[in-house]
Structure 1
Amino acid sequence: MKRYICFTGGAQAETRDTDVAIIGSGLAGMYAAYHLNPSLRRVVFTKNTLETSSSSLAQGGIAAVTERDDNFTLHFEDTIKAGAGLCNPAAVRVIVEEGPAEINELIKLGANFDLDSEGRLLTTREGGHGMNRILHAGGDATGLEMVRTLEKTVKGMPNVLIRENAFVSDVITDEYGVRGLMSFEDGRWILYRTNHVIIATGGLGQIYRYTTNPVVATGDGFALALRAGAELADMEFIQFHPTALYTKESRNTQCFLISEAVRGEGGILLNEAGERFMKGRHPLAELAPRDIVAREIYREIQKQKLPYVLLDITSKSKDFLVKRFPTIYNTCLSHGIDMAKDPIPVGPVQHFMMGGVKTDLWGRTNIDGLLACGETACTGVHGANRLASNSTLECLVFGRRCANTINSGFKKRGGGVPVPCDTDCAGTVAGTEEKIIDLKGIMVKYCGIVRNADDLSRGIERVREMLCGIESACLKGVREMELYNMATVALQVLLSAYARKESVGAHYRIDQERL
């Protein structure tokens, strides 16, 4: 594995200084930026526009105890149960008990959550939750509302620099810890010297053929952390969301999510024969944990001709659906589906990474000065399977905790930092896009919803062959660097999935537990 992938080609890199560097502009990264000491200079890097992140796409909402008949113990127990016994209890207590305060903070900043007729926070229920505790905004635009609120706030703060279209290739380290990072901006390399880096780059969905993740989710944060010497954990635990809109156009790009909240509001799943198949498969039926619903849908698809099942919420009126799910309703309508009259064709797709860069409960990795939060991080809070709408809560709680870690232990930068460069490379990568498409096919075929040793072994072999072909090449563009990151991370997922022999949570080994 390359230590550094930046290739300057002998060109001089500009050097800049900052107190804190935040890689990623989603909910976790922006909330960390907001909570940092205002006197600290901070740079937020995003490789696309500020608005492009998985956080902005979060439809269902954010889970938090706000109702009188709910409590921390119930939320804790639901999270532990969904995580199949592998959650870190301490991490679960942190998000459950600190979450409501973060909701109140967002409201103070101007976030408009949906309210009932009496002006109280409106809640609903999603899969795996025993109580109504999912807050939402704009019906099904919760993530967008939270991100917009934070963007407006952070942009107005002093000492904040936003770098859009900036691809961070490497975190620079020495024997003492973090010394800086390399960013590729407008066709040139820039070295940012800093002792504090927060990785909040989101997930890795684009290593799969079908995913709800945006096209920027190429696993960069996992890869650059690994190259810097950080530990990864639980990489086998990939969550497949049960219900994404089935369209041929979404292949190899991004699938449109049909929120779990649709089932929470009464939507039922039907096979091609019109049979409601989740009834009797689990006590919670359509509201069972995501891994269970996804596998049951997979089973039905394997037994029928149609490559999808049907999500039927025609029991609700058009007025209700338009108000509660405006984004979903209009998107379905654009595909010729009136969800007030027609069932929605859906199927399971990659959605979330439970594992990631291993951190403690304050966002710290094993590398001094390197922190991680949000989907990129692994505190163990999700165990083997994430409970619905706990991800947005995780972003807020651990984003703030990362900021608090730096605020209380800030180290002023000192000394020079050499510009790293992949000086041992030769030649270029041929057929980058073809290789990316091939990688997606490998992952969906050999490391999907249902896995076995033979497939995983073959997947490992195929990805290693791909990496061998690009390991010695000079990565001269963003897409080539993304390919290297994607293949690096895909190999980690495959190796972890192969190593865990038993089926647990989202990791399902058919050779250990027959369908």
Structure 2
Amino acid sequence: MMTLTRFAGWPVIAGAGLAGLSAALHLDRPCVVLSPTPLGEEAASMLAQGGLAAAIGHDDDVALHIRDTLAAGDGLCDRRAVEAIIGAGPSAIETLLDWGVAFNRKGSSSLDLHLEAAHSRARIAHVRGDGSGAGIMQALIAQVKSLPRIVVLDGVTLEHIHAVEGRVRGVWLNTGQFIPTNTCILACGGAGALYAGATSPNSNTGRGLAAAARAGAQLADMEFVQFHPTALDVETGGARSPLISEAVRGAGAVLIDETGTRFTDELQSRDRVSRAIARHRLEGHRVFLDARSGKTGKGLKQIFSRQFPGIALSCRQHGIDPDREPIPVRPAVHYHMGGVATDLHGRASLAGLWACGEVACTGLHGANRLASNSLLEAFVMGRAVAWDVNNGPRERHSCQDPSRPARLGAASFGQQMDKGAGILRDQDGLEALATYLTPLADRDDHALVGAAIASAALRRRESRGSHWRVDCQGATEAERFHFTLKDIGLQERSIVYA
């Protein structure tokens, strides 16, 4: 074992997407950022096409944005979280502009704002058409590289959180090294890649969630898995599914089947559009997004490839010309509303552990995330975590070298997840999934997170937002579920030592 004494006592940020870099940049002390790939590669934030939602338009206000978020969340949003995070949208845009993010503008002054599904106003600030995530991240990466106090470890991930008597005392890395610290910030993304054909990076399998749960932290809302309605319907050979942004439908594209017939309202919330497409496909239809200029019922204002150059390139790589033909689409797992339960400072139930971004569950999204609220939450909550750490006590760190935990498995269960906990769920499928995964969860992180999703979905005997039980379609009284490993038949701090 090698203890990285150089970093002893430093905050360790697991993840280098928007949430992790926001936290690092807002901290007032040296910190370590664990990046599974070279900085900026493969982070989900880099892949975001639509942009960042904020109520900054002349016809918009924060109250409207709050209303839209609560409506999309289908009764399960934490209103305090919604008010705090949505209310911080304008200040987030100001900071990002100061940090060099080149949001698209109308003329020389006001920002060019897109409309997306379930938003009542055009409020999505974007960069280079459909390159928003990359544009924002590149500006933050430049800021990080300019600050010597931020040390980025490329190719390094968190494997275990070492907790003693309910408090973080260090973290184990995939390199076999140990960093003694009282401050661990999880910003390592969601669990979408547990499913087959997801839009998430292949590394987003929820291992940060598993590490937190094994250390004793509470999880919340694990049953709520959002399917994006329009992934490109092509064979990817197991790679990430290319995404067709919500903004394409916001710009006027329509959904049709192989007969050219429209079959749903394209600008409903994501869960409703995804279910409509799933049902239509089950009836034997293929589904397409018609984004040809002047050819649809609404019509795009300009040629598709000019408005969405990145998506057009992705389509052409698969032999599809979106300027001249409809784009074949299907729903695909895109975002996990559940995660490590936190308060509005990003604090988890385990002392010394914070979480922000998709790995966290603040209650902002409720049962269904409103489009483009995720980048806003990532930036705002990364900042909130840093401010909380900055204002907390600076404890002198002391930790004896602990025993090294055994390396846990990470098998692939994509087909089982799709079948048992997909868009349309029932008790038989969920029970089969939970029965299969739970015995494996002690030694496999993917099985642990999948079992948590299945168990939470079994507990929620209703249909709400992204969680749709075909055997329980009526909604009951809104309730959010928090739980630990004991609730899925495992022991807390379920770690086997080498």
Residue 508 (1) aligns with residue 445 (2): no
Contact 1:88–1:381 (CA<8 Å) still a contact in 2?
yes
| CA–CA distance in structure 1, aligned partners of residues 3 and 165 of structure 2 | 23
| CA–CA distance in structure 2, aligned partners of residues 137 and 304 of structure 1 | 38
What letter matches 2:32 in structure 1? V
Q: CA deviation at 1:509?
A: 0.2
1:66-77 superposed matches below 5 A: 66-77=56-67
| CA–CA distance in structure 2, aligned partners of residues 14 and 113 of structure 1 | 40
Structure 2 partner of 1:328:
311
Structure 2 partner of 1:262:
248
What letter matches 1:498 in structure 2? L
Structure 1 partner of 2:342:
359
| CA–CA distance in structure 2, aligned partners of residues 450 and 176 of structure 1 | 38
Structure 2 partner of 1:162:
152
Structure 2 partner of 1:217:
204
Q: What's the Cα RMSD here?
A: 1.7
Structure 2 partner of 1:463:
437
Contact 2:2–2:178 (CA<8 Å) still a contact in 1?
no
Structure 1 partner of 2:276:
296
Structure 2 partner of 1:313:
291
Structure 2 partner of 1:128:
118
Contact 1:21–1:194 (CA<8 Å) still a contact in 2?
yes
SS at match of 1:314: coil
Partner residue of 1:274 out of 238, 260, 269:
260
Query: TM-score normalized by structure 1?
Result: 0.88
Structure 2 partner of 1:348:
331
Contact 2:251–2:301 (CA<8 Å) still a contact in 1?
no
1:152-231 superposed matches below 5 A: 152-175=142-165, 177-185=167-175, 189-231=176-218
| CA–CA distance in structure 2, aligned partners of residues 41 and 103 of structure 1 | 25
Query: TM-score normalized by structure 2?
Result: 0.91
Instruction: Give CA deviations for 1:243-273 in whole Å, capped at 9, x if unaligned.
Output: 00011125x3310000000000000000122
Contact 1:206–1:215 (CA<8 Å) still a contact in 2?
yes
What letter matches 1:301 in structure 2? R
Cα 1:248–1:176 shift into 2, 3 Å? closer
Instruction: Give CA deviations for 1:450-495 in whole Å, capped at 9, x if unaligned.
Output: 0000110001111124447xx3xxxxxxxxxxxx221110110000
| CA–CA distance in structure 1, aligned partners of residues 405 and 134 of structure 2 | 38
Residue 46 (1) aligns with residue 46 (2): no
| CA–CA distance in structure 2, aligned partners of residues 490 and 334 of structure 1 | 32
Q: CA deviation at 1:367?
A: 1.1
What letter matches 1:225 in structure 2? A
| CA–CA distance in structure 1, aligned partners of residues 236 and 131 of structure 2 | 23
Structure 2 partner of 1:24:
15
Contact 1:212–1:255 (CA<8 Å) still a contact in 2?
yes
Q: CA deviation at 1:26?
A: 0.2
| CA–CA distance in structure 2, aligned partners of residues 340 and 318 of structure 1 | 12
SS at match of 2:468: coil
| CA–CA distance in structure 2, aligned partners of residues 18 and 154 of structure 1 | 20
What letter matches 2:187 in structure 1? A
Q: CA deviation at 1:184?
A: 2.4
| CA–CA distance in structure 1, aligned partners of residues 147 and 3 of structure 2 | 28
Partner residue of 2:418 out of 444, 453, 472:
444
Q: CA deviation at 1:64?
A: 0.3
Q: CA deviation at 1:118?
A: 4.2
Residue 338 (1) aligns with residue 321 (2): yes
| CA–CA distance in structure 1, aligned partners of residues 203 and 269 of structure 2 | 27
Q: CA deviation at 1:318?
A: 9.8
Structure 2 partner of 1:454:
428
| CA–CA distance in structure 2, aligned partners of residues 12 and 117 of structure 1 | 56
Contact 1:18–1:41 (CA<8 Å) still a contact in 2?
no
Q: CA deviation at 1:157?
A: 1.0
Cα 1:510–1:58 shift into 2, 3 Å? same
Structure 2 partner of 1:393:
376
Structure 2 partner of 1:486:
446
SS at match of 1:166: coil
Structure 2 partner of 1:36:
27
- Structure 1: tracts of 5 or more residues without a match: 1-10, 279-284, 472-483
Structure 2 partner of 1:80:
70
Structure 2 partner of 1:97:
87
SS at match of 2:88: helix
Structure 2 partner of 1:8:
none
Q: CA deviation at 1:227?
A: 0.8
Larger CA deviation: 234-243 vs 217-226: 217-226
Contact 2:169–2:180 (CA<8 Å) still a contact in 1?
yes
Contact 2:292–2:304 (CA<8 Å) still a contact in 1?
no
In the alignment of these two chains, the number of paired residues is: 467
| CA–CA distance in structure 2, aligned partners of residues 420 and 502 of structure 1 | 44
Instruction: Give CA deviations for 1:153-205 in whole Å, capped at 9, x if unaligned.
Output: 011113111001112111111115111101123xxx21111111100001111
What letter matches 2:67 in structure 1? E
| CA–CA distance in structure 2, aligned partners of residues 191 and 421 of structure 1 | 9
Instruction: Give CA deviations for 1:6-65 in whole Å, capped at 9, x if unaligned.
Output: xxxxx555544142110000000000100001xx12000012221120000000111001
Q: CA deviation at 1:512?
A: 1.3
Contact 2:188–2:208 (CA<8 Å) still a contact in 1?
yes
| CA–CA distance in structure 1, aligned partners of residues 301 and 63 of structure 2 | 37
SS at match of 1:409: coil
What letter matches 1:274 in structure 2? G
Instruction: Give CA deviations for 1:354-406 in whole Å, capped at 9, x if unaligned.
Output: 01000001100111110000111111000000000000000011110000000
SS at match of 1:249: coil
What letter matches 2:256 in structure 1? L
Cα 1:254–1:145 shift into 2, 3 Å? same
Cα 1:312–1:408 shift into 2, 3 Å? same
Contact 1:245–1:258 (CA<8 Å) still a contact in 2?
yes
| CA–CA distance in structure 1, aligned partners of residues 180 and 256 of structure 2 | 56
Partner residue of 1:380 out of 353, 358, 363:
363
| CA–CA distance in structure 2, aligned partners of residues 421 and 334 of structure 1 | 45
Q: CA deviation at 1:139?
A: 0.4
What letter matches 1:487 in structure 2? A
Contact 2:293–2:303 (CA<8 Å) still a contact in 1?
no
Structure 2 partner of 1:244:
231
